[in-house]
Amino acid sequence: MIQNRKQGLIFALLTVIITVPCFVFYCLAIENKGILNVDIKFALMLVPIEFVLAYLSEIFIGSPLALKLAFKAIDPNKTSPIIVESAIICATVGIMCPWMSFLATILYKGIFPALVFHDTAWAFSSFITYFIPNFLQTVVLNFPFAFFGQMFFIQPLVRRIFKRMFYKEESPVK
């Protein structure tokens, strides 16, 4: 489907445009114990930050590694396109979910300032006792949303938009 670097960048852009707001509100809803408790101004402030981080991560880390990982598991020339797409989605979620959960743990839990402005011994013990458990919890909570959201909602929508942008649908023969 993606035939060149420009199309790959646009596909990643479409994916990030749809995914980031969903995840910002999802993560904040979990953090604030409900979607009704989310501070909309804070959420809208986080969207551009996460958008840049997610887009750069997707084009430099997620996509290249996901393709390598998926194509180790299946042969794209001998496998049905739907299986190839599903393998790429699974690999992308497997790479991007832990990475973006790591960044979300830093952004949402307020850990970065605490680690920067305290002494080294405190920062290390805080990292072990506070950051690692929160990071693992964030991954566990984000993974189902990431997997099912990407597999059944976000990627089908992105692929439909992408096909309409780059491929003219052939009209049936009369």
pLDDT tens digits, 126-145 = 667 778 888 899 899 999 99
pLDDT digit string (tens) for 48-77?
888 999 999 999 999 999 999 999 999 989
pLDDT of residue 150: 94
The predicted pLDDT at position 25 comes to 82
6-10, 35-39, 80-84 — which is least confidently predicted?
35-39
151: confidence class by pLDDT, cuts 50, 70, 90: very high
Of the CA atoms within 13 Å of residue 153, those in its CB half-sphere come to 9
How large is the greatest C-alpha to C-alpha distance in the chain, in angstroms?
76
In which band, very low, low, confident or very high, does the pLDDT at 115 lie, cut at 50, 70 and 90? Answer: low
Q: Please state the three-class secondary structure of 79-115 as a single string.
A: CCHHHHHHHHHHHHHHHHHHHHHHHHHHHHHCHHHHH
Amino acid type, 155: Q
- The tens digit of pLDDT for each residue in 4-31 reads 889 889 999 999 999 988 888 887 787 7
Task: Find all residues with CB under 8 Å of 78, minimum gap 6, and list them.
Answer: none
Residue 21 confidence (pLDDT): 87
pTM as predicted: 0.80
Which helix H or strand E contains 157, and what residues bound it? Answer: helix 155-166
The structural domains of the chain, with segments of one domain joined by +, span 5-161
CA dihedral of 29, 30, 32, 34, whole degrees rounded to 10:
60
Q: Give the per-residue pLDDT at 126.
A: 66
